[in-house]
Structure 1
């Protein structure tokens, strides 16, 4: 799995994210479940998309594959209204545990037994379209080979922190029912809506 991981590939990903955000990131390594699967990194942007927010992208999920993805890889992205950079690392921690096991499909709800961040009771995420504008289509991390750019397409999936009661609501009623409720998708300190 980690054969696709090269410093050039990671650098291209960071360059594409810089073109989208215009901000230098804070990069954190997250311990993967299995080292042979390759690295997992949290790429955090403080004050993005605006002051008072933090945005985080994963790197490492796209080193694996899943039949649901077709020819594209996937990475996750979270945006919350918080000054706590730990929120930007939540998707990378989820990827570190579930990569190779979970398809990470939009509409999927994933949970954990403990809160993701201190001072919050949220211990689940729901996957959907990313909150950050990413341009049109997937990112191409492919390098140049023989004078032609190779394709290595990566789709970004949004991750939104939710409460365990909301996770259970989605299990019972489906993603659309949860998504249609009135809740602030950027507030990790909000009360549960279900």
Structure 2
């Protein structure tokens, strides 16, 4: 699984994210469920996309594969209006726990027994399009080899924190019904809408 994890690949990924966000991150390792599957890292940007926000990307999910993904990998991204950098690490903790088990498909909800961040009641995420748009929607980690075959393409999937009651709403009514409700996707302190 981790056979294509190289320092060059990780550096290329960080370069692309840095150019997308216009700043440099704080990188932290998250212990994976299975150490032999390769690293899981949280790449955290404070003040992105603007002051008062924190944005995080995962690295490590794309080291695995899933039939739903086709020939590309996936990584997760989160953006919330908060000064607590711990929110930017939530997707990496989810990846560390579920990589190799879960497809991480848009429209999917994932939950945890405890709140993700101290002081918040939110213990679930819903996956959808990422908050920060980027070109074609795919990042090419193939590096400098223009004719590299196969291409090392990575899709970024957005992760949005939600309450457990909202997770149950998605299970019973579907993603579209929940996504169409009026709720602030960037406020981790909001009250439940379902």
TM-score normalised by L of structure 2: 0.97
Residue 20 of structure 2: aligned partner: 20
- Aligned ranges for residues 11-160 of structure 1 at < 5 Å? 11-145=11-145, 148-150=147-149, 151-160=151-160
Q: Which runs of 5+ in 1 are unaligned?
A: none
Contact 2:44 2:57 in 1 (8 A): yes
Cα offset for 1:169?
0.5
1:137 positional shift: 3.0
Summarize the alignment of residues 3-18 of structure 1 with structure 2, pairs less than 5 Å apart: 3-18=3-18
Q: Number of residue pairs matched?
A: 193
Task: Find the aligned partners of 1:135 and 1:28 in 2 and give their Cα distance.
Answer: 26
Which 4+ residue blocks in structure 1 deviate beyond 2 angstroms?
147-150
Two-structure CA RMSD over aligned residues (Å): 0.9
State the distance in 1 between where 2:192 and 2:48 align.
Answer: 25
In structure 2, list runs of 5 or more residues that go unmatched: none
TM-score by length of 1: 0.97
- Quote the offset at 1:136 in angstroms: 1.7
How much has 1:57 moved relative to structure 2?
0.2
Instruction: State whether residues 45 and 54 of structure 2, in contact with CA within 8 Å, keep that contact through their aligned partners in structure 1.
Output: yes
Matches of 1:23 and 1:135 in 2, distance apart? 18
Residue 118 of structure 2: SS of its match in structure 1? coil
